[in-house]
């Protein structure tokens, strides 16, 4: 049976965006979900279908939003050992390794984190997100490791999504970048949009794009005559755009070590530590790790925070850098 939401606009909401009005009125509906429903012709204002999420509403407007029953999608199970840090009836916090995609997509439909979650517990995953993404509240890149949140029911999904929307989720990453950041700590604030040259990449937009804010600080600098200069940094996200840290560091001239999409090549050094050089060349992923995630639990309302150490491949490279100084 379809769920119908019926709202009447009060005078104090006159002129507000319709997607904002609905999500503020129904706290269990994220603005992103409301927007998608509107784009899929599920909204009527005064009995007329509206597909514009930013449409301004007027006093006494009759708002009707239809919420269809979730689609049942058949996804293959993937027998993959999940590194679960925490689990309860509402959510899972897990440590994703590099090399596995979050969800099925072009060229990878059967061996993703979603497929592994289906194998682990197919009956306890939210199903109000996109069809091929049960349980997925947010994403990190395939070749990024670290902590991700999984929703086990729809109410938890909505409440966690709202925290991401409101930028109240705490997300801290560690990375090694080329060179030294100047200043050593600060904020990068730009627009980010899809690249006009390569649709698989993102870029800083001068006039168009979504607002993106990355706070960073330098933890260590590795600098000597015989090696390239690198910095170990920490990034705290205020927003969560696609490839945000990678784009911001590239824009700043400090590409992330090992990033093969936002590439920086290093010159040969005659006296470079060969072990270090081989490790840099053989690194199969970007040196980027989602270290910390903090949020308000959707049921208990308690503050929760989890931290993950660097995985072995990154930790070995970091130790080699320290020894080369």
Residues tagged active-site: 141
Q: What number of other Cβ atoms are within 10 A of residue 287's Cβ?
A: 25
The structure tokens 């940094």 sit at 233
For residue 183, whether the previous peptide bond is cis, meaning omega lies within 30 degrees of 0, is yes
CA–CA dist 269, 230 (Å, integer): 14
Tokens of 111: 């061996």
Please give the backbone phi and psi of residue 137, each rounded to the nearest 5 degrees, phi first.
-95, -35
The secondary structure of residue 17, as a DSSP letter, is: B
Contact in structure between 295 and 304 (CB atoms under 8 Å): yes
> Tokens for 81?
């050992």
Edge to edge, the sheet with strand 3-8 lists 3-8, 62-67, 43-45, 48-49
Phi, psi of 9 (to 5 degrees): -80, 120
* Nearest Cα residue to 33 out of 23, 24, 48: 23
- SS3 for 174-221 is EEEEECCCCCCEEEEEEEEEECCCCCCCEEEECCCCEEEEEEEEEEEE
> According to DSSP H, which parts of the chain are helical?
18-25, 31-39, 113-121, 154-165, 244-251, 274-282, 312-323
Cα–chain-centroid distance for residue 258? Answer: 20
Tokens linked to 77 = 């199970």
């Amino acid at each position: 049976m379809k769920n119908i939401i019926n709202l009447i606009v009060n005078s104090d909401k006159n002129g507000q965006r319709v997607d904002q009005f609905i999500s503020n009125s129904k706290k269990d509906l994220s603005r992103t979900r409301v927007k998608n429903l509107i784009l899929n012709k599920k909204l009527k204002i005064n009995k007329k279908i509206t597909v514009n999420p930013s449409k301004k509403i007027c006093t006494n407007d009759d708002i009707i939003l239809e919420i269809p029953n979730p689609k049942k999608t058949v996804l293959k199970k993937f027998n993959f050992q999940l590194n679960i840090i925490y689990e309860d009836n509402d959510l899972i916090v897990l440590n994703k390794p590099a090399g596995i995609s979050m969800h099925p997509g072009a060229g990878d439909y059967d061996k993703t984190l979603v497929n592994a979650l289906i194998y682990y517990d197919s009956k306890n995953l939210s199903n109000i997100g996109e069809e091929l993404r049960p349980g997925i509240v947010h994403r990190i890149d395939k070749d990024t490791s670290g902590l991700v949140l999984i929703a086990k029911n729809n109410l938890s999904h909505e409440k966690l999504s709202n925290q991401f929307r409101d930028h109240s989720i705490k997300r801290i990453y560690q990375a090694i970048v080329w060179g030294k950041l100047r200043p050593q700590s600060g904020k990068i604030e730009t627009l980010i949009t899809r690249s006009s040259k390569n649709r698989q990449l993102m870029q800083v937009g001068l006039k168009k794009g979504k607002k993106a804010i990355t706070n960073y600080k330098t933890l260590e600098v590795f600098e000597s005559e015989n090696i390239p200069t690198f910095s170990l940094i920490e990034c705290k996200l205020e927003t969560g755009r696609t490839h945000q840290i990678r784009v911001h560091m590239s824009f700043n001239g400090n590409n992330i070590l090992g990033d093969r999409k936002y590439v920086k090549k290093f010159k040969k050094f005659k006296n470079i530590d060969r072990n270090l050089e081989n490790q840099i060349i053989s690194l199969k992923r970007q040196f980027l790790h989602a270290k910390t995630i903090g949020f308000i639990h959707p049921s208990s309302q308690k503050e929760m925070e989890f931290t993950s150490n660097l995985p072995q491949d990154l930790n070995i490279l970091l130790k080699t850098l320290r020894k080369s100084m």
